[in-house]
Amino acid sequence: MRLLLISNSTNPGETYLDYPKKHIQTFLEKEGNIREVLFVPYAAVTFSHDAYVDKVGQRFDEFGVKVRGIHRESDPVAAVRAAQAIVVGGGNTFRLLKYVRESGIVNAVREKVGNGTPYVGWSAGSNMACPTICTTNDMPIVEPDSFEAFNLIPFQINPHYLDAHPQGHAGETREQRIEEYIAANPGRYVAGLREGCIFLFEDGKLSLIGDKPVRVFKNGQKPVEVNAGEDFGFLFTS
C-alpha cells in the first residue's frame, strides 16, 4: 500500500498545490507508468466538480499526468478498479463522504489501494484515508449515512492542526476537541498534522515530510510531538 496524505493544499502566499506538487510528482513517478489519475472532487461545495477537476488538472499537467473526474463515470466502481492512481481533494469532508458512500466506491477503493494502487489525498482527502471522518474540522452541512471512511490506516488524522487559542476566543481549542474525541474513542490515536506537512506510507513504513512535528493524542496519555525521522509505527497499534 502506498499513501500520500497531505494536511493542506495551499500555504499562505502560494498558488494552489504549490508546496505539495513536487511530492505528488515524485510519489506518482515512483510507479513509473502513471499517466492518468482518477480524481474524486466530491468535497467541492461552492464550485462545480468539473471546475475542481480542471483546477487540479492544470497543476498535474505540469508533470504530465491527466486528471479524470470520477463524477463523469457511468460506473464509478469500475473506474476505481481500472485506476492507475486515486486522488481525493479537499473541501467539505461531510459532503465528500456522502457522495463517496452514495457512489458505492468505499469497498472498491479500500481493495484497490490495499492491493498497491497509489492514493493521494489532501485535507478532507486525508481524512478519508482514516477509519472515520470524525476528526475533520468541517461543519456537517450534509448528512452521510455513516461516518465510516476508506479505513486505509488504523488511526485518525486531524488536518490543518493548529495550536493557537486566539485572543478573545471563548470556544474550545483544537486540542480540546481532539481530547473529546479520544475520550469517546479511547482505543484510537489521533495525529494532528500541521499545515505544510505530509504523511508518506510506503514499504510498510509511515514517515513525515515537513519541518513541523505531528502532535499525537491517545486517551489516558499526554500528547506527544513526533518529528520527521522518528518512528511512527506505534500509530498502527491500539
Task: Indicate if 145 belongs to the active site.
Answer: no
Distance CA 192, CA 194 (A): 6
| Listed residue (158, 142, 140) closest to 197, CA to CA | 158
Q: Active site residue: 160, 165, 203, 211, which one?
A: 160
Digit-by-digit pLDDT tens for the chain (238 residues) are 999 999 999 999 999 999 999 999 999 999 888 999 999 999 999 999 999 999 999 999 999 999 999 999 999 999 999 999 999 999 999 999 999 999 999 999 999 999 999 999 999 999 999 999 999 999 999 999 999 999 999 999 999 999 877 677 767 899 999 999 999 999 999 999 999 999 999 999 999 999 999 999 999 999 999 999 999 999 998 6
Q: Which of 75, 235, 208, 34 is nearest to 154 (CA)?
A: 235
The per-residue pLDDT for 219 is 97
Predicted confidence at residue 179, as pLDDT, reads 97
123 a catalytic residue: yes
Catalytic residue among 7, 9, 103, 123: 123
Which position has the grid cell 463524477? 71
Is 160 designated active site? yes
Name the active-site residue from 9, 71, 103, 138: 138
**For the whole model, what pTM was predicted?**
0.96
Q: Cite the DSSP H helix spans in the chain.
A: 18-29, 49-60, 76-82, 93-103, 106-114, 124-127, 174-184
Q: Are 106 and 130 in contact (CB under 8 A)?
A: no
Q: How far apart are alpha carbons 162 and 55 in whole angstroms?
A: 27
Q: For 3-236, which CATH superfamily applies? A: Class I glutamine amidotransferase (GATase) domain (3.40.50.880)
Cross-strand pairs, 190: 156, 217
